[in-house]
Homo-oligomer: A and B are copies of this chain.
Amino acid sequence: MEMEELREELIETIQAHYERRELSEIKLVLNELNPADIAEVLEDFPNQRLLFFRLLSKENAAETFVELDPDTQETLLHGITDTELREVLDEIYIDDAVDIIEEMPATMVKRILKNTDSETRRSINALLKYPEDSAGSIMTPEYVDLKKGMTVEDAFKRIRRTGVDKETIYTCYVTDDSRHLLGVTTVKELLLHEYDDIIEEFMETNVIYVNTLDDQELAAQQLSKYDFLALPVVDMEERLVGIITVDDALDVIQEENTEDIQKMNAMLPTEKTYLKTTVFETWKSRFPWLLLLMVSATFTGSIITGFEEKLATLTILTAFIPMLMDTGGNSGGQASVTIIRAMSLGEVAFKDYFRVVWKEVRVGLVCGLSLAAVNFVKIWLVDRLLFHNSEITLIIDVAICLTLVVEIVFAKFIGCSLPMLAKRVGFDPAVMSSPFITTIVDAVALLLFFGISSAVIPQLH
């Protein structure tokens, strides 16, 4: 809350200055802020965006531009001159330029590329060619490279000379003349060694890297696993072509989490933030799964239709359908979500399939038995004795509770199996989640309920 109050206060201050046309005051206030906060202010003043943007120092302007929403970036790009654009482009890192370009219409891309020097343009074009969501698409070619024969002093000279344009200088890569990775060291290591020590003598030679075509999620996981600040990316010939920094890995992790959560809940992933997504875009992401699940649920309906005659002779059974369907769906959903998450965190792989199934079946049995016990007593005490529902017999109570146990075990089994099998054959496991599992379990729960009831309840024979 405190945070939000501070922000509102800031907005009011700027508004007041603006109303009194005190632009030099606004300039002072804005340039004091962190670029991420300046970006928020610009988003809050849609009509003054360009004016405020022009009050920023060169460095702040560039860093703020990177933080803005693509829509705001586009509006600003329409307003600023080529000179201003060049100043922004000179300051920003190449991976950020690529991110911006990917969201712009073709004419704007042309204008951006026209205003970069030829070397940067070449780098940008190379990065644009990598497939979406690949390590190559999020890397930056701006890293510090050293040679193995350098002394610590040489290294610092090189960093001082070239470091200003590098996204991170703290991890330094040692390469040979054809850019093959020989080793890696850090500024911390360099600082803790003597000036005349040779890099080769203390560099880490077991270098962990990813390939340009590896998934960006893998890159982020590696960075997180090894607690690195940057991860090197190599091409097919194992030559160093770029690095991925930890702040980009963080963004990837949040993005992938959001995507997983959307898929797990029957939505197609959307890239924009919630309030920026239009009603139609939101509809597009939600309708297909709703439709598919609605159609599937009509099959469940036809199972009921097939049993209608018997249900008519013992209508009380209908009252238990929602409970059986919901509990089965929730049980299966729990299992599937747990497994999907464990797989995406790398805790579980396909080789663990039988261990997972064995565990889920036992969990299912314990959950089933405990819920059935509660239910058995509840049906007898509440429905039968309290509400005098004479239709309920002991054997009906047993049939319901038996269905519960079997369906929960089945739900846990199918809930953990489908995501693992989906991943095995190359599908995204996240879509094999609650809503999908629920639809299957619903149908199975009804078949079990009607099957078991028909078998054990004498009235239905």
A residues with CB within 8 A of B:
3-4, 32-34, 36, 156, 159-160, 163-164, 169-170, 187-188, 191-192, 206, 208, 218, 223-227, 229, 246-247, 249-251, 253-254, 257-258, 260-262, 264-267, 273-275, 279-280, 282-283, 286-287, 289-291, 293-295, 297-298, 300-302, 304-305, 308, 311-312, 315-316, 318-323, 325-327, 329-331, 333-334, 337-339, 341-342, 345, 347-349, 351-352, 355-356, 359, 362-363, 366-367, 370-371, 374-375, 378, 434-435, 438-439, 442, 446
Q: Are B366 and A283 in contact (CB under 8 A)?
A: yes
Q: Are A439 and B253 in contact (CB under 8 A)?
A: no
Q: Are A262 and B442 in contact (CB under 8 A)?
A: no
Using CB atoms, name the residue of chain B closest to A408.
B290
Q: Are B246 and A279 in contact (CB under 8 A)?
A: no
Q: How far is the CB of A243 from chain B (nearest CB, A)?
A: 15
Q: Are A359 and B279 in contact (CB under 8 A)?
A: yes
Q: How far is the CB of A25 from chain B (nearest CB, A)?
A: 16
Q: How far is the CB of A106 from chain B (nearest CB, A)?
A: 29
Q: Are B279 and A362 in contact (CB under 8 A)?
A: yes
Q: Are B337 and A322 in contact (CB under 8 A)?
A: no
Q: Are A301 and B330 in contact (CB under 8 A)?
A: no
| A333-B435 contact given A4-B349, A315-B311, A378-B298, CB 8 Å threshold | yes
Contacts of A370 in B (CB 8 A): 283, 287, 291
Q: How far is the CB of A167 from chain B (nearest CB, A)?
A: 10
Partner pick for A342 among B273, B304, B329, CB 8 A cutoff:
B273
Q: List 19 A-B contacts (CB under 8 A).
A: A34-B206, A156-B191, A170-B229, A249-B250, A250-B250, A262-B338, A264-B265, A266-B334, A267-B334, A267-B337, A267-B338, A274-B342, A283-B363, A286-B363, A289-B330, A290-B334, A297-B327, A300-B323, A301-B320
Using CB atoms, name the residue of chain B closest to A281.
B363
Q: Are B170 and A192 in contact (CB under 8 A)?
A: no
Q: Which 6 A-B pairs have the closest CB atoms?
A: A274-B342, A300-B322, A227-B247, A301-B319, A297-B323, A265-B337
Q: Are B315 and A297 in contact (CB under 8 A)?
A: no
Q: Are A282 and B363 in contact (CB under 8 A)?
A: yes
Distance A349 CA – B1 CA, assembled complex (angstroms): 10
Q: Are B34 and A226 in contact (CB under 8 A)?
A: yes
Contacts of A160 in B (CB 8 A): 191-192
Distance A355 CA – B275 CA, assembled complex (angstroms): 8
Q: How far is the CB of A220 from chain B (nearest CB, A)?
A: 9
Contacts of A323 in B (CB 8 A): 294, 297-298, 300-301
Contacts of A362 in B (CB 8 A): 279
| A293-B327 contact given A169-B191, A347-B273, CB 8 Å threshold | yes
Q: Are A293 and B326 in contact (CB under 8 A)?
A: yes
Interface centre among A32, A164, A338, A371 (most CB of B within 10 A): A338
Contacts of A327 in B (CB 8 A): 290, 293-294, 297
Distance A323 CA – B251 CA, assembled complex (angstroms): 38
Distance A318 CA – B206 CA, assembled complex (angstroms): 65
Using CB atoms, name the residue of chain B closest to A361.
B279
Q: Are B249 and A326 in contact (CB under 8 A)?
A: no
Contacts of A287 in B (CB 8 A): 367, 370-371
Contacts of A250 in B (CB 8 A): 223-224, 246, 249-250, 253
Q: How far is the CB of A36 from chain B (nearest CB, A)?
A: 5
Q: How far is the CB of A111 from chain B (nearest CB, A)?
A: 27
Contacts of A291 in B (CB 8 A): 370-371, 374
Q: Are A226 and B345 in contact (CB under 8 A)?
A: no
Contacts of A349 in B (CB 8 A): 4
